[in-house]
Every structure is written in structure tokens, then in C-alpha cells.
Structure 1
């Protein structure tokens, strides 16, 4: 189900709680995918707090896999390389903000069956994931 986009800075500034292998968190992940899909014309990634749920769940479009939307539960960056300056926009906020991102990252996360995974990402996909993990940490970019 598509949900409204959260724009409250105080809410978005709070770190999110760990996701759990529950029907509720799996439903949030589906709503996140549905909401991202509905906003694909101007959005490539979302975190659950952007739809009003303070859980560590992110969804992102991966063009390397045909534009498929991937979901990660409890993602954490474990390695990063190739810092660069950039400016990013956000569906929850107006305008763009400057930030530092990394060209290559490694991420520990859980998949939809809550199996532990580890993967490396580069380029724009890495940048999207970093932005969404910032949302999970309550960092406003």
C-alpha cells in the first residue's frame, strides 16, 4: 500500500529501531516498495521513516538489475572507499544539501527472509544506499 511521505524534521531526525522478522515489519517493507514505486519519477530510494515508520528498513532502485527495487533490513555500512563531495535531494525535504559519499561501500544487512547478507555496491547505487542508511540513523541530508 502506498503511504504518505513524512516531512517532519523532528521525526526524521530520530534514529530508527531495528527491524524484526514480524508480519508488521514485512508489511512495512512492502508498503515502502509500493511507495517508492509510486514515486519513481523523482525518487530512487526510501527509508521506512520516510513513510512514518521508525524502523531500519530501506528500499532502493538498482539500475544494474534492471531497475528492480531491493529491500534491506537493518543495513549497516562496514567498509567505504573513494570519498567524494556531492549534493543530494530528498523526497521528504526541499532543496539539495551537500554531503560526502563514498564510491564503494560494503553493507551487512538482512534480506526479506531475515538471512544475514553482505554485499558491495559502487557508484550511484552505493550513493543511494548511503543516503537511506543516513535516514535510518536520523541524519538529515
Structure 2
């Protein structure tokens, strides 16, 4: 189901909780909502649709990939960049890493470990900041 994007900074500033199998509908809603916003958006976190769970989705080409309870194990090559967010107006400066190694659960709650680089790594870091209540 396509959900409205939350813009309430007090809500967005709260930390998210670990997701369980009962939260899989949130992943589906995130995928539907991202699909509906592809012209302006490349990733979403649970709190952006009103659910404080550690679930994010991001685009890779034509695919939308969900990540449940992701953890960054390694990060290398820091750089400064500017980002925007559907939950905010404008662009803000931030620090990201060129390469990250992430452990996460996939849609089937199977453990995954993967290295991401470049823009995909940046998207994942941005969405994971949402879990901590960090809005660029």
C-alpha cells in the first residue's frame, strides 16, 4: 500500500526498533511507496511512512531491494556530500563512506552480508541514519 511521507521532525527524530517477521507488511508498503515516488526518491526507511522499525528499501537499477535490521560492519573512504530527503525541504551537507559492508536480513529473514559502493552505499547510509533519528 502506498503510504504518505512523514515530515514531522519530532517523529522522525525518534530511534527505530528492530523489525520482526510480523513487520513484513512494512517492507511491502515501503516498496509500494518507493515505487510511487521513483521520480524524486531512491530509498525509504520505515519511519518515513510512520513506522519506527529498522526496515529500509532502495533502488538498484529497476529493482527495489528491502533490508531488514541492517548493520554496517565496515566502512571505508569517507567523503563529504550533499543530500536531500522526501521528509525535508532543501539540501544538507553530510559525511558518507564510499564502501560499506552490511549484514542484514532479506525478505525471507535469511542472513545476508554484502559490500556496497558508490551511490548505493550512500543511499543505504542515509536510510540507516533514519533508524537513529538522524535526519541529514
TM over 0.5: yes
SS of residue paired to 2:114: strand
What secondary structure sits across from 2:129 in the alignment?
A: helix
Match of 1:38 in 2: 36
Q: Partner residue of 1:58?
A: 56
Report deviation, 1:113: 1.0
**Structure 1 segments of 4 or more deviating over 3 A?**
none
2:123 to 128, 131, 136: 128
TM-score, scaled to structure 2: 0.98
Deviation at 1:136, TM superposition (A): 1.0
TM-score by length of 1: 0.95
State the 1:81 CA deviation.
0.6
Structure 1 stretches of 5 or more lacking a match?
none
CA distance in 2, matches of 1:61, 1:51: 17
Specify every segment of 5 or more residues in structure 2 that has no aligned partner in the other structure, as ranges. none
In the alignment, structure 1 residue 97 sits paired with structure 2 residue 92:
yes
Write the mapping of 1:1-141 to structure 2, written as runs, cut at 5 A.
1-22=1-22, 25-63=23-61, 67-141=62-136
1:75, distance to aligned residue in structure 2 (A): 0.6
Q: Count the aligned residue pairs.
A: 136
